[in-house]
Amino acid sequence: MKLKNKKILFLCPLFFNYHKKLMDAMERMGAEVDFFDERPSNTFLSKALLRINRNFVTWQINKYYEEITSKIKDKKYDYIFICQAEATPISFLKDVRRLNPNARMALMLWDSVANKVNTLEKLDFFDEVFSFDKKDCEQLGLTFRPLFFDKEYELIAKEKPTLLYDLFFVGTVHSDRFLILNKVRQQFEKNNLKVFYFLYIPSKIMYYQRKWFTNELKGSKITDFSFVGMPSEQLTDKLKKSKAVVDIQHPKQTGLTMRTIEMLGANKKIITTNTDIQKYDFYHPNNICIVDRDKVVVPTEFMTTPYVPVDEKVKDRYSIDYFILDVLGLAEEKEQEFHVEKSGGGQR
């Protein structure tokens, strides 16, 4: 109950269910949380205009944040916790600071700055800015903070269900992800290994745009994709029954994806294109296979070697509770550096 009686203003985009997981964890630790979606709208058009040119949706953003300010103006918060701040206007950051001069204001970025151009101008308004991307931290003077796994992944690690799939992927298709996933699938199926993929694209318009004007979806059919997300219960059930997970990070980012950290919590093997993962304190070659995105090869022996358990003290720093306490400045052992010079086989 480290957050008992603490009041938190929490703004976060609706990204799968992560906003709810964070809110639930803060409330479980005793906090009173007021949550608002960081974006005024989650339609495909609104999100696209926000990234193409913020001026197209300025009126919508200002109106939305004026409504938030009206709802919170008579409240006093101990913490202002914002994720991404892609839509958050500077005027709101000034207002919330004026209304809560003693509150700690923290920003968490779980996308690379290269993909969030509207965020750069707001960094100075926060007491501390965290990023999951080591490169951004080094270039912009941010605090490095990897992402987290929720309690449900700890439960997966404790269960011993019958494995139905050798390889699992559920996620949004972007950049070269589809092409790499296809190459991995072909290798697994050639070796008579069973693959479960759920490929998500936010809209059919986006599918056709990328199919016709880029090479990203070369060889694909519209039936390869879902335009509705997979329910979390179904995702968890499929994951439990899978031996390994494949995850392809965006080419512009070096930070580890949420899925990668979740697999640490679930004790699942992972195949990834992110070479930076070998610098993390939980890396072990038995558990993590790094592939070249330009020459995709998964060694057959990777699927037969046993999983090597990671030290629980190492894992704990990637848990959702530690993540929240770290961002709010309350972690008992403030860790500034999650990387290690050499892989320690998951031990320290």
H helix or E strand, kind and range, residue 126: none
One-letter amino acid of 258: M
Q: How far apart are CA 339 and CA 279, in angstroms?
A: 5
**Which is nearest to 320 in space by CA: 82, 153, 191?**
153
Name the pTM for this structure: 0.87
7-145 folds as: Rossmann fold (3.40.50)
- Listed by start position, the domains of the chain span 7-145, 151-316
- DSSP annotation of 278: G
- DSSP annotation of 128: E
Rounded to 5°, the CA angle 165-299-147 comes to 65
**Which is nearest to 335 in space by CA: 345, 325, 343?**
325
Burial class of 25 by CB neighbour count within 10 A (0 to 12, 13 to 18, 19+): buried
- In this structure, are residues 246 and 181 in contact, taking their beta carbons and an 8 Å threshold? yes
Side-chain half-sphere exposure of 282, counting CA atoms within 13 A? 27
CA trace torsion 332, 335, 338, 339 (10° rounding): -140
Q: Do domains 7-145 and 151-316 have the same CATH topology?
A: yes
**Which is nearest to 80 in space by CA: 39, 48, 36, 47?**
36
Q: How far apart are CA 216 and CA 224, in angstroms?
A: 14
- Tens of pLDDT, residue by residue, the chain (348 residues): 889 999 999 999 988 789 999 999 999 999 999 999 998 876 665 566 566 556 657 888 899 999 999 999 999 999 999 999 989 999 999 999 999 999 999 999 998 887 777 788 999 999 999 999 999 999 999 999 999 999 999 999 998 889 999 999 999 999 999 999 999 999 999 999 999 999 999 899 999 999 999 999 999 999 999 999 898 889 999 999 999 999 999 888 889 999 999 999 999 999 999 999 999 999 999 999 999 999 999 999 999 999 999 999 999 999 999 999 999 999 875 554 554 433 333 332
One-letter amino acid of 103: A
CATH class of 151-316: alpha beta
- In this structure, are residues 108 and 83 in contact, taking their beta carbons and an 8 Å threshold? yes
